[in-house]
Structure 1
Amino acid sequence: MKIKFFMMICSVILFSSCNKWLDVDLADKVTEEKLFSTPQGYQEALAGVYSSMASPNLYGKKLTMEDIDILAQYYSYDGISANYVKWKIYDYEDAGSQGRILATWRGMYSAISGANNIIKWAGKDVQVLDADTKNQVLGEAYALRAYLHLDLIRMFCPDVKRSPKTTGIPYNLEFGVSLPPVYTVEENVQLVVDDLKKAEVLLAKDPITSAKPYQMASKDMADKYVARINLFGVKALLARVGLLRGDKVSAIKYAKEVVESERFRLLDFASADKPDSEIDMLFSDEHIFSLRNKNLSEYTIELHYPEVTANSTRFAYLPFVNVSTMYEGNNDDIRYSKWFSTVNGNFVKFNVDNKLKFFSKMPMIKLSEMYLILAECYLGKDDQLSQSYINALRDHRIRNNSHWTYLTMDYIMQESKREFVGEGQLWYAYKRLNLGVQTSSGTIGLIPPSDKIFVFPMPLKEIETGNRN
């Protein structure tokens, strides 16, 4: 009930806005004060933010296996549903596309408001929380605020390396009725770093510092450490941000801290040599931060599976294309053999009958990303070290893997494409590197890189109500 109440507050704040950013009377203030009157209330409030992020309108579906992966051209040009045609060709002015953008904008800022409300209440001089619990709550809230703003930057701003002084997005630092200022792109990114640095200090005593989740027999118990943002999730985000703004020294520093912490481990093949009901299909030992959602299976069936009835067959809305080519036809690549059905080619990564042992969750930051960051950062600086990181990752993906002795950025991108399928990360990599996007259509081929395909326009409704020029 408390989670539902907290999510209701966030929804009211964002969806009631007319001529001001937060033109709303805060509903049921007495109940809100009651929510934050106990330590459990703060945990419920955090759970509310995580729940909203895991919803199908955000990372449960839309910002992972649906909208963002469509832009990365994972799905067939010819077989894609009419609902997505304009989106797939980056027609952001289309009415349907505008609706998608507006919903994303509102959903993300709603979750940010939830984090800000926690920061507001936890920052008060009250005796509800002891010092360690207060630091933990604030650390998670600052980290979540940074995570959400970072993805808004990646969607709505030009690349920070190429257009640092360009107008960016509002960075919402307070919960309330004031209109957040708009910053430049480089200022936006620095605010993300500032929040993450605060979180890093606050989470110094995070429980994960004295635990190794992958060693726990119960994955449900392990999720208490990783199905939320934690200290190493903050460090991984700092590595991601370092790479985004071209600060490879910082990216290397934080990625190595995560890898060398030994709190996570790359896939052990022995865990995959079991019946499907026993396989950890999502490689959860590698999850630094993930979001639980028991309906992921339904979402992937809705998007990626054909619908067969007694009278008709509807093709999948988002059919994958050239999966064999993507994995080089290598049946020894466990991502190919386990994430896609060998019988009918269906995408089964999030739809495996192993729910008695493994809770469905969407990876938000994985150990494999740290290896890819290190391989990219060392490329051209120490090629042998770069190869060692990419080969280590592939050793835990491909049986009897033959090590690469030559590496290019294209190889790293192809490995990223294989690694992040269904997770909504590839399009951001194309944008960061200013690379053309290869389509599945021979007639269209490579779409040249430009802000036209890499930058979402500000939602028209935000402009019309006077929020932006």
Structure 2
Amino acid sequence: MKNYAIVLATIFMLFFTSCESWLDIQQEGEVTVDQLYSTGEGYRTALNGVYQAMGRPALYGREFSFGLVDCMSQQYDLANESFSTDLYIKASEFKYNDVSLVDFIDNIWTSGFKVIANANDLIQNIEKASPELFEEGELERTLIMGEAYACRALMHFDLLRLFAPALINDDQGTYVPYVDTYPNIYATSMQVTPFLDKVIADLVKAKTLVADFDTTAAGIMASKNGTARMSKAKYLDAKFGYGDFFAGRGYRLSYYSITALLARVYQYAGKTTDALACAKEVVEFGKSSGTLFYKDDFSGITNVGTNVEAFEQRTDLKLKSSLIFAAYNKKAYKESEIQRYFRLTTVDDNGSPVSPDYFKIKQVELFNNRGVEEWQTDIRSKNLIFMLQDVLPISGKWFVNSRNPEDSEHLKISPVLRLTEIQYIMAECYAREGNYGEAYRILNDVRGARNLSPLAVQGSWEEFQTDLIGDARREWISEGQLFFLYKRLDAAFNLNGTMHKLSRGEASLPLPVDQK
């Protein structure tokens, strides 16, 4: 049996400030577990600590978004004079055992299991806590518990996607442990299918627990559009008496984001019927009231131009209206070194010269669709790719504004789940059923919203997969999802001019030495 000594995380006390939102809590010092869990405020703090850890650079704050995983997906051209970070170059070459990457990869594993350990500690304490500890009683207790279960499931799932084979190439080996107790010094690795069953079970339970708040009038108001999901709760307080803790549902695993996550996991597990049911539920949230929760809205980026002046006028580079769940890090500009990879100049913030490290987007065939050039029409090229110094294409989602970049709200947001992925899931499910008409209707809805003409309906899985991947390559620039699409489908992609499928060694990061 493979065992791994799970690093037990230290839980820090975080204090609330009246002028900042709930996710802007700052670290103050260590407290004992008994002190932390003696008040409802302590439970809020513990949950916030879990989310904050997920937003750090080793996880969703960089490596699971624009960093390591996107380098592995060949999103970037790193073989140029504008990039010098060796570990990302080695990752793009699938040289995971290179000395520059070993400790780096181990840190991703350790960071993920620290999140899991903290979630487990929170779950075990809140399950026996009295509702009287909490300002909103049992409703708040079950909400926190449900989110903790969902965080545990999400973190396990993404570690599995990164460190274990996809089902299409499953060898029945054991790779990642599913740790559901705290402390757990030695956890046994599991096969992929039973591991996924545990992820699903946690998410189903989490969805039930958070429903008591998220499906109420207040919960619906807190999630009904991008502005509501990604902001503080003055309107909740005024109308329902809820404070900031119940706001920012787009940065929390709510009933709606858990449903979307279930669609993703069911699809990964090959459970097409369940994936389609959850995906349909997500796209129809709010339909009965006439206002969909999740939709495409490009009004904040539609001004013309790919230069600095144009991008500095854009107000919604992360497209919040379609965001279902995102990680948040108030200090991302420095902690995730955004100024290093997306800066406007070749000097640092102190004016000192620095080596350029730009994540230059590969443009070969990216906006060419079956011989038709769509670079000039697709809003994702016209309005979301920034031409640095007029020659280097980099992701506009991480555009560094020259005015107060540390305060740029979009740089603090790392997308994890977006409406487009749910539409892709639905389209793929229909294609697998042989219903290519419906599959292309959905795919063409995505394209139409991005100023593109509809694709002709194709009649084979291979042709549909080509069209799906073609769109996903554009949609997921710097969002960390493309690699997992290639891996799950065992799909070929362009690698230095040759169509290439991931080998077993390329598709998964090596396990830490203690886990092998």
Q: Are residue 266 (structure 1) and residue 268 (structure 2) matched?
A: no
Q: Are residue 379 (structure 1) and residue 431 (structure 2) matched?
A: yes
Question: What residue identity is the alignment partner of 1:58?
Answer: L
CA apart distance, 1:249: 0.5
Q: Give the 5 Å matches for 1:367-406.
A: 367-380=419-432, 381-398=434-451, 401-406=452-457
The equivalent of 2:362 in structure 1 is: 321
Residues 1:459 and 1:178: Cα distance change in structure 2 (over 3 Å): closer
Residues 1:123 and 1:292: Cα distance change in structure 2 (over 3 Å): same
The equivalent of 1:102 in structure 2 is: 106
Q: 1:434 aligns with which of 480, 490, 511?
A: 490
The equivalent of 1:335 in structure 2 is: 380
CA apart distance, 1:116: 0.8
What is the alpha-carbon distance in structure 1 between the residues aligned to residue 481 and residue 10 of structure 2? 37
Q: 2:96 aligns with which of 75, 92, 106?
A: 92
SS of structure 2 residue aligned to 1:341: strand
What is the alpha-carbon distance in structure 2 between the residues aligned to residue 235 and residue 177 of structure 1? 29
The equivalent of 1:65 in structure 2 is: 66
Question: What residue identity is the alignment partner of 2:326?
Answer: S
Residues 1:189 and 1:215: Cα distance change in structure 2 (over 3 Å): closer
Q: Are residue 134 (structure 1) and residue 144 (structure 2) matched?
A: no
Residues 1:43 and 1:403: Cα distance change in structure 2 (over 3 Å): same
CA apart distance, 1:308: 2.1
What is the alpha-carbon distance in structure 1 between the residues aligned to residue 386 and residue 266 of structure 2? 37
CA apart distance, 1:265: 2.8
What is the alpha-carbon distance in structure 1 between the residues aligned to residue 169 and residue 354 of structure 2? 47
Q: Unaligned 5+ residue runs, structure 1?
A: 1-17
What is the alpha-carbon distance in structure 2 between the residues aligned to residue 340 and residue 352 of structure 1? 13
Residues 1:304 and 1:124: Cα distance change in structure 2 (over 3 Å): same
CA apart distance, 1:297: 4.6
What is the alpha-carbon distance in structure 2 between the residues aligned to residue 177 and residue 136 of structure 1? 25
Residues 1:103 and 1:30: Cα distance change in structure 2 (over 3 Å): closer
Question: What residue identity is the alignment partner of 1:419?
Answer: E
The equivalent of 2:461 in structure 1 is: none
CA apart distance, 1:201: 1.0
Residues 1:358 and 1:98: Cα distance change in structure 2 (over 3 Å): closer
Residues 1:25 and 1:113: Cα distance change in structure 2 (over 3 Å): closer
Residues 1:296 and 1:336: Cα distance change in structure 2 (over 3 Å): farther
Q: Are residue 41 (structure 1) and residue 52 (structure 2) matched?
A: no
CA apart distance, 1:279: 2.3
The equivalent of 1:181 in structure 2 is: 188
Q: 2:325 aligns with which of 289, 296, 318?
A: 289
SS of structure 2 residue aligned to 1:154: helix
Question: What residue identity is the alignment partner of 1:64?
Answer: S
CA-to-aligned-CA distance 1:407-430 (integer Å, 9 cap, x gap): 411110111111111111100010
What is the alpha-carbon distance in structure 2 between the residues aligned to residue 243 and residue 147 of structure 1? 14
What is the alpha-carbon distance in structure 1 between the residues aligned to residue 313 and residue 332 of structure 2? 16
Q: Are residue 220 (structure 1) and residue 261 (structure 2) matched?
A: no
What is the alpha-carbon distance in structure 1 between the residues aligned to residue 142 and residue 195 of structure 2? 24
CA-to-aligned-CA distance 1:87-140 (integer Å, 9 cap, x gap): 221112222221121011000001111111110110114342321111101110
Q: Give the 5 Å matches for 1:190-269.
A: 190-207=197-214, 209-211=219-221, 212-214=223-225, 216=227, 219-221=230-232, 224-262=248-286, 263-269=292-298
CA-to-aligned-CA distance 1:207-235 (integer Å, 9 cap, x gap): 36522442757952386121111111111
What is the alpha-carbon distance in structure 1 between the residues aligned to residue 446 and residue 261 of structure 2? 19
Residues 1:74 and 1:362: Cα distance change in structure 2 (over 3 Å): same
Decide whether the 8 Å contact of 1:301 with 1:351 is kept in 2.
no
Question: What residue identity is the alignment partner of 2:187?
Answer: P
Q: State TM-score, norm by structure 1.
A: 0.86
Decide whether the 8 Å contact of 2:230 with 2:249 is kept in 1.
no
Question: What residue identity is the alignment partner of 1:63?
Answer: F
Of the structure 1 ranges 108-117 and 256-265, higher mean CA displacement relative to structure 2 is found in 256-265
What is the alpha-carbon distance in structure 2 between the residues aligned to residue 19 and residue 370 of structure 1? 34
Residues 1:85 and 1:278: Cα distance change in structure 2 (over 3 Å): closer
What is the alpha-carbon distance in structure 1 between the residues aligned to residue 11 and residue 338 of structure 2? 37
What is the alpha-carbon distance in structure 2 between the residues aligned to residue 389 and residue 318 of structure 1? 31
Decide whether the 8 Å contact of 1:21 with 1:179 is kept in 2.
yes
CA apart distance, 1:312: 6.6
What is the alpha-carbon distance in structure 2 between the residues aligned to residue 166 and residue 179 of structure 1? 18
Q: Give the 5 Å matches for 1:451-462.
A: 451-460=504-513
SS of structure 2 residue aligned to 1:191: helix
Question: What residue identity is the alignment partner of 1:68?
Answer: V
Residues 1:323 and 1:228: Cα distance change in structure 2 (over 3 Å): farther
CA apart distance, 1:315: 3.4
SS of structure 2 residue aligned to 1:59: coil
Residues 1:242 and 1:170: Cα distance change in structure 2 (over 3 Å): same
What is the alpha-carbon distance in structure 2 between the residues aligned to residue 411 and residue 19 of structure 1? 41
CA apart distance, 1:271: 3.6
Question: What residue identity is the alignment partner of 1:378?
Answer: Y
SS of structure 2 residue aligned to 1:62: coil
SS of structure 2 residue aligned to 1:458: coil
CA-to-aligned-CA distance 1:344-380 (integer Å, 9 cap, x gap): 4343212254957767311111111100111111115
The equivalent of 1:10 in structure 2 is: none
CA-to-aligned-CA distance 1:427-468 (integer Å, 9 cap, x gap): 0010000123322x23xx2333221111112112xx2xxxx4
The percentage of counterpart residues that share the same residue type is 26
What is the alpha-carbon distance in structure 2 between the residues aligned to residue 174 and residue 336 of structure 1? 46
SS of structure 2 residue aligned to 1:63: coil
What is the alpha-carbon distance in structure 1 between the residues aligned to residue 111 and residue 258 of structure 2? 22
SS of structure 2 residue aligned to 1:265: coil
What is the alpha-carbon distance in structure 2 between the residues aligned to residue 45 and residue 23 of structure 1? 15
Decide whether the 8 Å contact of 2:228 with 2:248 is kept in 1.
no
Residues 1:25 and 1:358: Cα distance change in structure 2 (over 3 Å): closer
Question: What residue identity is the alignment partner of 2:231?
Answer: D
SS of structure 2 residue aligned to 1:435: coil
